[in-house]
Chains A and B, each alone.
Chain A
């Protein structure tokens, strides 16, 4: 395989968040429009200067990104629509970076947003995919809770992980979230409270599960020179990976595509897991966080329990993880959940954290994971970013 071209000269900038709410009567279009408006306001750009758009949103239906352009009155010369759920942030960045490097677009707005009506989550999971409709939804209609319960049950049985191990991650993320203004969860969480929570889909209990909500996240991708000209703080992109339907021969998901691609990621990035000052892992359920720590090489295969038990994961901990609280404590705003870690990482690397700042953060890793089409998440991705001034 020929060596992949790097991302030299690409700047990632202007992290914005449309504040999360539990329910909204607005549509996904509204949240995406607010995010685009925030990007323009923060960057000082005019709408016409954004010539590339990359959009994700589960609830845009029946529209796609195409219809949204007319809705928003924009005329990009480059457009992408990425229906990859939790992987959409990493993948949007990959696509946009190449468009900028190739000159197909100068400034790409990457936006993900969704609404949450009282009944919309049920509709989303009932019609999520053909396989889900045929082979998952008629089985208790538990949605992703049931799917991740299977993975968690298997993970616990085969690794020896306990609820306390997952609880440690959830409690640390809540501590991070308490200082992040957009987090929907504002009360501290103790391990005792975590353990005493009501069961949802055993072995999952209440605090293992993300809460669906409405909101949007966005950022801009452009050349470093353009970012400097606009006086925008930025991060550089060192390396990325994506993979779909990895390890189809595994009877149940016990690893994701990261395990296949992580060497390529670190080789391209020129840094390794030990160099990361912060890690933003896709966290709709803590089992996936644990799985990724191993797949992304933060410990040798089979040593994840040791890693979980010998580290602390708060912003001031030994391994700062999901520093804004992650989806588990901020909320999961549909497709924006795939952007949450990316936007937080950009804030940390530009020294503009809204919550607790990791002091002197220079390198960050962001992952994505999406689309339980049937029995497992199909899309995986990761990106390594560096502070722009480095």
Chain B
């Protein structure tokens, strides 16, 4: 039975901080297919197009018929634990620091035998398990054997917590608390067990709806933050940067304009100033100190969440300059991800479709409610995924984008 984790003790500042060490991060090119699916929270294996045999480990040719049409397809993960071990020694520093470590060998109902990290609540072999894919601290996919039914405190399993960014007992910064999206995010983090949520607001002198209620929550602390002002970002990072475990960058400027509907660059500049340069300023001030805390005990710095938009994938002309700023932010977020990975920090990009807010008033439903978006972010943190596309619109755009970016571009140009 997983013991619920306890609130970590105050750190002894005299003790040396553990330096970030990553588990083995090398994979073959074909092996990265597992990571590509796990980054979106899916467990996929190669399946042969000719004979339907399921393959593992990843390979270039079907082990049954030698066919080379191997397609990554989602698996239900049902299988049986046939053997297990508890490791007490390892050749790798990351695991040596975390001994003992439980592993299993699972015969998947779909065919292949898998070596998996084994959740503590899976009984001794033989036992039914459900295998899922997770990203490890190196940002690479690994397989985890879970109990086939949910059990209490499942997320608190010490091994599993190495793969996830669960907000429980962690400290988070939400960069903008003035919007409904920001306020829903703060509440969701508190509900998920976050110890402390700092909430940025750019204009502390203004009384904004909802902020007073947030301030009532004992876990919430309002802090001044204007991401267009380098000094403001630097000051806040100096004050709380060394304590932030999860940074949710949700601040954005969104106007519904294309090129022709708004002459000049003022709106586009304001969008870029916040959506792109704001992210850059935050990354430069908070990035280094969070990287330094990538292995800081049970509640180390774990994740950086960017609120992007499904419009970052392809331009939505009636929100044309906004789309461009989100595309720029997506590109920068990929750079941030590459720089955070050596410290074991996850960068989570969130690509919602239109949100129920004032700038999407003219768009038809369905639109994503702020609370649903906030829940999706919590889910992404708990599962440790990299990319999340919450809501029906985002899912459909993603599917169409994957099918043909060109067709989607033409469809969107039609309005």
Interface residues of A (CB under 8 A from B): 121-122, 125-126, 130-131, 133-143, 145-146, 149-151, 153-154, 157, 198-204, 248, 251-252, 374-375
Contact = CB atoms under 8 A, between A and B. Distances in A.
Interface in B101-124: 101, 103, 105, 107, 113-117
B2 to A, nearest CB: 19
Contact of A137 (B24, B34, B56): B24
A203 B24 contact: no
B63 A248 contact: yes
B361 interface: no
Contact of B86 (A125, A138, A199, A252): A199
Contacts of B90: 140-142
B91 A252 contact: no
Given A137-B24, A140-B101, A151 B83 contact: yes
A138 B85 contact: no
A143 B96 CA distance: 13
A129 to B, nearest CB: 9
Nearest to A204: B85
B12 interface: no
Interface in B1-48: 23-28, 31, 34
B58 A251 contact: no
B24 A138 contact: yes
Secondary structure of the A side of the interface? mixed
Contact of A157 (B31, B101, B103, B125): B125
A137 B92 CA distance: 9
B122 to A, nearest CB: 14
Given A140-B103, A251-B113, A374-B57, A133 B86 contact: no
B163 to A, nearest CB: 11
Contacts of A200: 88-89
B49 to A, nearest CB: 21
B271 interface: no
A126 B23 CA distance: 11
B24 A130 contact: no
Contacts of A145: 87, 89
B28 A252 contact: no
Given A133-B27, A133-B28, A140 B95 contact: yes
A121 B103 CA distance: 21
Given A136-B115, A137-B92, A141-B94, 20 more contacts: A135-B114, A135-B115, A137-B26, A138-B27, A138-B136, A138-B140, A138-B142, A140-B101, A141-B24, A142-B85, A142-B103, A149-B85, A149-B87, A153-B83, A154-B83, A200-B88, A200-B89, A248-B63, A251-B82, A374-B57
Given A138-B142, A141-B91, A146 B103 contact: yes
Given A133-B26, A135-B56, A135-B57, A122 B85 contact: no
A141 B113 contact: no
B84 interface: yes
B393 to A, nearest CB: 36
A360 to B, nearest CB: 43
Contacts of A198: 88
- The residue among B82, B87, B116 with the most chain A CB atoms within 10 A of its own CB is B87
B154 to A, nearest CB: 20
B103 A139 contact: yes
Contacts of A143: 91
Given A133-B26, A375-B113, A141 B103 contact: no
Nearest to A375: B113
B80 to A, nearest CB: 9
Given A134-B27, A252-B105, A252-B113, A139 B85 contact: no
Given A140-B103, A141-B24, A121 B91 contact: yes
